[in-house]
A and B are shown apart, each in its own frame.
Chain A
Amino acid sequence: KQEVTQIPAALSVPEGENLVLNCSFTDSAIYNLQWFRQDPGKGLTSLLLIQSSQREQTSGRLNASLDKSSGRSTLYIAASQPGDSATYLCAVWNQGGSEKLVFGKGTKLTVNP
């Protein structure tokens, strides 16, 4: 059974700091890995999607890496801003067996001005 773990559960940093969010998954048989942002009481916004054959994806100040063999991904946020405050969710699309998107519990990020 695929399990996705995100560390840390919460993170508070001062504005301008570079930071890394971690995601690990137990089964490397995945189609892709996705990072989402969720604001309180809201739905999800897709940030980055990394196919299983890719190593990283970049969008603006965000960079996500994927090491499928070790079951790890990191989301790097450069020059953090208060507007980046949200919960960041990592999810993997499970391959084989029960094919579905499996989510971690998220990392709640607070960027202080």
Chain B
Amino acid sequence: GAVVSQHPSWVICKSGTSVKIECRSLDFQATTMFWYRQFPKQSLMLMATSNEGSKATYEQGVEKDKFLINHASLTLSTLTVTSAHPEDSSFYICSANAATSFSTDTQYFGPGTRLTVL
């Protein structure tokens, strides 16, 4: 149980295009999902907290107009990188915890999406 999937697992796009990444909780409902970014040999950095049915909360320094987050249902959150540039190339990972638990409880992480912007 407690499986989180991401789609796609990797994507290559041209500079200036937009890319959508999906995060799904497969066997549980997630009120809150989290989006992280990981650069090579660096820590995972929280980008935003996605709440079902409301606006996402972005971390300082993360452009909300560039990284659009939608959490339309209890099992799906999407991250859209708009007008992607090479510096947006990174590994994007989502996580979720069960709607019945506290947000500080164990989070289940997706397998990540490798984005390469040419």
- Taking CB atoms, residues of chain A closer than 8 Å to B67 are none
Main secondary structure of the interface of A (DSSP, over half): strand
* B93 in the interface (beta carbon within 8 A): yes
B46 near A43: Cβ-Cβ < 8 Å: no
Instruction: Tell me the smallest distance from the CB of B43 to a CB of chain A, in Å.
Output: 4
Interface range for A: 20 to 34
Interface status of A54 (Cβ within 8 A of chain B): no
Given the interface pairs A41-B112, A42-B111, the reply to whether A49 lies near B106 with Cβ below 8 Å is yes
Instruction: Give how many B residues have a beta carbon under 8 Å from the other chain's beta carbons.
Output: 25
B44 at the interface (CB under 8 A from A): yes
Known A-B contacts A41-B114, A100-B59, A101-B34; A46 and B106 likewise in contact (beta carbons under 8 Å): yes
- Check if B109 sits within 8 Å of A44, measured CB to CB: yes
Do B43 and A4 touch (CB < 8 A)?
yes
Query: Residue on B with the closest CB to A3?
Result: B43
Q: Whole-angstrom distance between the alpha carbons of A77 and B77 in the complex? A: 35
Residues of chain B within 8 A (CB-CB) of A101 are: 34, 46, 107
With both beta carbons as reference points, the residue of chain A lying nearest to B49 in the complex is identified as: A100
State in angstroms the CA–CA spacing of A20 and B63 once bound together. 39
CB atoms of A45 and B109 under 8 A apart = yes
B43, B103, B108: residue with the most chain A Cβ atoms closer than 10 Å? B43
A72 to chain B, nearest CB (A): 18
Name the B residues within 8 Å of A76 (CB-CB).
none
A89 and B112: CB pair below 8 A? no
Contact between A105 and B106 (Cβ–Cβ < 8 Å)? no
Cβ-defined contact, B104 with A89, below 8 A: no
- Contact in complex: B112, A105 (CB < 8 Å): no
Point out residues on A near B: beta carbons under 8 Å. 4, 31-32, 34, 36, 41-46, 49, 89, 91, 93, 98-106
Can you list 26 A-B pairs with a CB-CB distance of less than 8 A? A31-B104, A32-B104, A34-B106, A36-B109, A41-B112, A42-B111, A42-B112, A43-B111, A43-B112, A44-B44, A44-B93, A46-B107, A46-B108, A49-B105, A49-B106, A93-B104, A99-B104, A100-B46, A100-B59, A101-B34, A101-B46, A102-B43, A103-B44, A104-B43, A105-B41, A106-B43
